[in-house]
């Protein structure tokens, strides 16, 4: 057995990374790769940013981590103030963690503790959506309508109820156009009624679906309609913004685009830009006040919650994003980038849809544009495009299975917010070449 297999990954044949330079990664042979997807939409300001590295180094020179339940710290306090300012006046609490999966777990636990604090412990069921992905821990995976990733663990997952995906490109049979949002709202309403509102803790969804769907923004009016249903039945709304949040869609919270305020937000990936693992569960003042009055504290957290150096990294990343007006750039340049990708791929009949928000763009490949019939699963088209792109020095994020039954091919594009014009042009050019080679 190789060392790579022994540690749990099959890494044989992968290039060895040695260095990062802005939007590029360099392997041991000196080959350069343009990071066109931010890994999995994580690297929000690229790699080896000198200011972020300096902030981390300075913090490590003082103390790497003060245990959160014994100490606070300046980076933690300042990052918390920044995060809450971006989320709005309704929010008053942040619990830090080290990953998106943990942030979603934290959201689930906050919801459950809130209902327990209100003497309503029977409100313990969750409703989520098909073709969603919320993380790899058992709780987060339970919320995920992603059969390919659930299957090996299915017998140990929580009993979560699923409603339809909010996908205008692939709506439920017989539903289309303006009928989609009312259909989805009624479906959620009926599901809560069937379970009993007294048994439902929260509805969990991604404002823009990432890995499970290939960047699928909800149709206009969806979030508001879901908010009204949740309020009608006294059910919490949890927005999983692990992939689409922290500025990726051009607003710090992806829900800000909808003008809707959820009760709990989970963020990670772009929060510290991949420099040190960092995630957060952010929730309303009213929830925290109810919990603290009843129980004295929020009963979720880990050894490294609020890790001092991680918070210093996150603070440095977020300050750069603010100072350099990168949210505005993502919001405005993202729309143009989407148009450029659409134009570059227009000659390929297999490109069925180009969609997204900001620097979070999805491309769906289909066998037939008119019927939106996907390619056979055995074709492995998204992975083939990924291989050709990587061979040409471009990193993208392939996804499969979005059309159900293992069918469907999508590609995610999510460049650093501070990518240059030349780098974006290189991204579009190499993406088109990879698509052409894979289809050929």
Q: Are residues 299 and 375 located together in one domain of the fold?
A: no
The pLDDT assigned to 11 comes to 62
C-alpha–C-alpha distance, residues 82 and 413, integer Å: 27
**Structural domain of 343:** 3-49+325-439
Q: Are residues 45 and 142 located together in one domain of the fold?
A: no
Q: Are residues 262 and 336 located together in one domain of the fold?
A: no
Domain boundary among 304, 323, 342: 323
Which tokens belong to 148?
A: 């390919």
Q: Are residues 15 and 95 located together in one domain of the fold?
A: no
The pLDDT assigned to 1 comes to 37
Q: Are residues 114 and 242 located together in one domain of the fold?
A: yes
Q: pLDDT per residue over 311-343, tens digit each?
A: 999 999 999 999 999 999 999 999 999 999 999
The pLDDT assigned to 20 comes to 98
Do you know the residue count of the chain?
A: 440
Residues of the chain with pLDDT under 70: 1-11
For residue 259, the tally of other CB atoms under 10 A from its CB is 9
Domain boundary among 323, 342, 361: 323
The pLDDT assigned to 2 comes to 40
The pLDDT assigned to 6 comes to 36
CATH value at residue 8: 3.90.1150.10
Are 132 and 144 a contacting pair, CB within 8 Å?
yes
CATH value at residue 281: 3.40.640.10
Q: Is the dihedral of CA 101, 106, 109, 115 positive or negative?
A: negative
Q: Are residues 275 and 384 located together in one domain of the fold?
A: no
Domain boundary among 323, 339, 364: 323
Q: Are residues 308 and 363 located together in one domain of the fold?
A: no
The pLDDT assigned to 7 comes to 36
Q: Are residues 260 and 344 located together in one domain of the fold?
A: no
Number of domains in the chain: 2
């Amino acid at each position: 057995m190789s060392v790579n297999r022994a540690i749990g990954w099959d890494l044989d044949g992968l290039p060895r990374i040695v260095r990062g330079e802005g939007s590029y990664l360099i392997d041991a042979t000196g080959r350069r790769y343009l990071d066109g997807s931010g890994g999995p939409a994580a690297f929000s300001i690229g790699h080896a940013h000198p200011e972020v590295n300096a902030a981390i180094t300075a913090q490590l020179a003082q103390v790497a981590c003060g245990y959160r339940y014994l100490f606070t710290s300046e980076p933690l306090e300042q990052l918390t103030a920044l995060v809450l300012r971006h989320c709005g006046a309704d929010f008053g609490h942040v619990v830090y963690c080290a990953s998106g999966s943990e942030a979603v777990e934290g959201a689930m636990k906050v919801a459950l503790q809130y209902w327990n604090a209100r003497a309503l412990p029977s409100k313990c069921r969750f409703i989520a959506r098909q073709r969603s992905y919320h993380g790899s821990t058992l709780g987060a995976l339970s919320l995920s309508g992603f059969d390919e990733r659930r299957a090996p663990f299915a017998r140990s997952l929580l009993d979560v109820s699923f409603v339809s995906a909010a996908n205008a490109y692939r709506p439920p049979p017989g539903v289309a156009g303006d009928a989609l949002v009312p259909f989805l709202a009624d479906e959620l309403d009926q599901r809560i009624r069937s379970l009993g509102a007294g048994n439902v803790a929260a509805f969990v969804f991604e404002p823009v679906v990432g890995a499970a769907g290939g960047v699928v923004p909800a149709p206009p009016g969806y979030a508001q309609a879901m908010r009204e249903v949740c309020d009608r039945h006294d059910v919490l709304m949890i927005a999983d913004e692990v992939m689409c949040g922290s500025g990726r869609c051009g607003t710090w919270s992806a829900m800000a685009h909808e003008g809707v305020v959820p009760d709990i937000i989970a963020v990670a990936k772009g929060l510290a830009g991949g420099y040190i693992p960092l995630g957060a569960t952010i929730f309303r003042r009213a929830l925290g006040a109810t919990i603290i009055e009843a129980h004295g504290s929020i009963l979720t957290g880990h050894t490294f919650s609020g890790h001092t150096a991680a918070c210093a990294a996150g603070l440095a990343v977020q300050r750069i994003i603010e100072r350099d007006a990168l949210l505005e750039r993502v919001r405005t340049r993202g729309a143009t980038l989407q148009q450029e990708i659409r134009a570059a791929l227009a000659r390929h009949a297999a490109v069925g849809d180009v969609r997204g928000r900001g620097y979070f763009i999805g491309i769906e490949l289909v066998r037939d544009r008119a019927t939106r019939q996907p390619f056979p699963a055995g074709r492995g088209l998204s992975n083939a495009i990924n291989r050709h792109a990587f061979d040409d020095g471009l990193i993208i994020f392939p996804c499969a299975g979005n059309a159900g039954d293992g069918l469907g091919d999508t590609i995610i594009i999510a460049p650093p917010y501070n990518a240059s014009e030349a780098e974006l042009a290189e991204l579009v050019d190499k993406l088109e070449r990879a698509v052409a080679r894979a289809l050929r």
